[in-house]
């Protein structure tokens, strides 16, 4: 039931009010106070009410935030002395989807053990109602957004004479506009009206979906452009000339900003060698996790990690929160430009390495991966099986993973040299074709 991003799927077939109420009962069996917020999807309010009904029937008190960015919900668990939080969101998924993501008081998403406990209660239907006179209450807290803005202002230095375009994407990230304005930036907001149909662009901030932002920034005099997904846990950017900043480059910039000698940065197995090389320049190391910001956050919770990131746009500063925080990332990037100069110049100085990718449709991904593992083991030493098959060759690497949601196997190969990347990619895709 739980994926790497909580419970998520089409409303009506996967996500229903009945499911939300059942999750509320299951969570309320162990939590006495729960914070609940939602992104602007059309189905969010009804699901939030159903969740609250289940929670209160189980005896838990509910603190309702209403429309709120997911990182605001995650932070509010500790701010309101709650035991857990729930975001009603499908993040960057299309409008027909919705979901529930559960949060711990430290801002980390529910780990596998906590998810398993909830699933077991749902399957066994053991979460009974509390006695009539022990039902929980409901209170509204309209101050969550303001508290989040203040937290950003406490964490980031003011900026001077910068113009920033923020594409909210009709989502829940309008607090970024307020935070940047109070930090001293001149802010232009695009698509700032919350609308769960996401009429302006798709909710996922990709190079393709941010074409309007890129053109708008390029045509004006802004220093950079920023964009969130629907619940504002992600942040992506474009330079002052409108060029999209790839996620691995943004990861390298944030990692270098956060880390010093002896520090570690957490990122998934598919992270570019570029990040390793940038960190090596400052005496820091990269530690790799399974793919998914939940796994990055788990590693970032350990004391030797100062930053965690994923090139999809999830950025985690564990000293602030273990939830990916798009508004905080926006403020830190604007501060970085204020301190070190134009984003385009910083991106150019970082560079990129050639990466090759392919998604292959197969009938049985698990069986194909098992056959491929045998072939890869024969050919390479030190095959990493943390999440798929990854082989590090020093100057190059490749990763083969089965999709968790589609009948696909994905191949990624990267090297510091284009010819080396091409040759490695050809070898690995050949091995995959042999066992399909």
Integer CA distances (angstroms), 213 to 190, 226, 434, in order: 8, 8, 43
Dist CA 265 CA 86 (whole Å):
27
d(CA 384, CA 40): 40
**Per DSSP, which regions of 112-162 are E strands?**
138-140
**Which residues 6+ apart lie within 8 Å of 432 measured at CB?**
360, 368, 372, 400, 409, 411
The alpha carbon of residue 291 and the mean position of all alpha carbons in its chain are separated, in whole angstroms, by 11
Q: How far is Cα 207 from Cα 243, in angstroms, rounded to an integer?
A: 9
If we measure between CA atoms, which residue out of 26, 78, 100, 99 comes closest to residue 57? 26
List the catalytic residue out of 5, 76, 87, 91: 91
Distance CA 39, CA 175 (A): 13
Phi-psi region of 253 (alpha: psi -120 to 50; beta: other; left: phi over 0): alpha
- 229 torsion bin: left (phi>0), alpha (psi -120 to 50), beta (else): beta
Instruction: Give 307's strand partners.
Output: 265
Residue 400: closest CA among 364, 436, 369, 435? 369
The DSSP annotation for 277-320 comes to HHHHHTT-EEEEE-SSHHHHHHHHTSTTEEEEEETTTEEE-TTT
Helices 326-340, 70-79: crossing angle, 10 deg rounding: 100
Q: Verify whether residue 403 is a known catalytic residue.
A: no
Residue whose entry in the numeric block shows the structure tokens 């596998």: 112
Annotated active-site positions, please? 91
């Amino acid at each position: 039931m739980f994926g790497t991003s909580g419970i998520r799927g089409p409303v009506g077939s996967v996500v229903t009010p009945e499911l939300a109420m059942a999750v509320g009962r299951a969570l309320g069996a162990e939590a006495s106070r729960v914070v609940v917020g939602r992104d602007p999807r059309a189905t969010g309010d009804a699901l939030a009410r159903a969740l609250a009904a289940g929670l209160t029937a189980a005896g838990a008190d509910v603190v309702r935030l209403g429309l709120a960015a997911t990182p605001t919900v995650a932070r509010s668990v500790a701010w309101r002395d709650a035991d857990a939080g729930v975001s009603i969101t499908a993040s960057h998924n299309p409008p027909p989807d919705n979901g529930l993501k559960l949060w711990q008081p430290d801002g980390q998403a529910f780990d596998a053990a906590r998810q398993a406990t909830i699933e077991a209660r749902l399957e066994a239907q053991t979460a009974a109602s509390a006695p009539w006179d022990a039902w929980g209450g409901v209170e509204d807290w309209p101050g969550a957004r303001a508290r989040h803005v203040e937290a950003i202002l406490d964490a980031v230095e003011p900026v001077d004479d910068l113009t920033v375009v923020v594409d909210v994407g009709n989502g829940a990230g309008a607090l970024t506009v307020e935070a940047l304005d109070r930090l001293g930036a001149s802010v232009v907001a695009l698509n700032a009206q919350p609308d769960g149909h996401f009429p302006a662009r798709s909710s996922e901030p990709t190079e393709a979906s941010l074409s309007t932002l890129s053109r708008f920034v390029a045509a004006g005099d802004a220093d950079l452009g920023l964009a969130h997904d629907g619940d504002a846990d992600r942040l992506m950017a474009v330079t002052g000339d409108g060029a999209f900043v790839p996620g691995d480059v943004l990861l390298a910039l944030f990692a270098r900003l956060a880390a010093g000698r002896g520090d570690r940065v957490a990122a998934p197995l598919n992270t570019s060698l570029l990040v390793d090389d940038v960190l090596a320049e400052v005496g820091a190391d990269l530690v790799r996790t399974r793919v998914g910001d939940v796994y990055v956050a788990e590693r970032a919770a350990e004391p030797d990690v100062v930053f965690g990131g994923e090139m999809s746009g999830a950025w985690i500063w564990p000293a602030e929160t273990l939830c990916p925080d798009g508004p905080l990332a926006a403020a830190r990037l604007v501060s970085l430009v204020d301190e070190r100069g134009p984003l385009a110049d910083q991106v150019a100085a970082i560079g990129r390495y050639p990466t090759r990718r392919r998604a292959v449709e197969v009938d049985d991904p698990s069986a194909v991966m098992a056959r491929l593992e045998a072939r890869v083991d024969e050919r390479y030493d030190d095959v990493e099986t943390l999440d798929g098959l990854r082989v590090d060759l020093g100057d190059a690497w490749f990763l083969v993973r089965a999709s968790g949601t589609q009948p696909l196997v994905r191949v990624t190969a990267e090297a510091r040299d284009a010819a080396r990347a091409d040759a490695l990619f050809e070898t690995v895709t050949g091995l995959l074709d042999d066992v399909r």
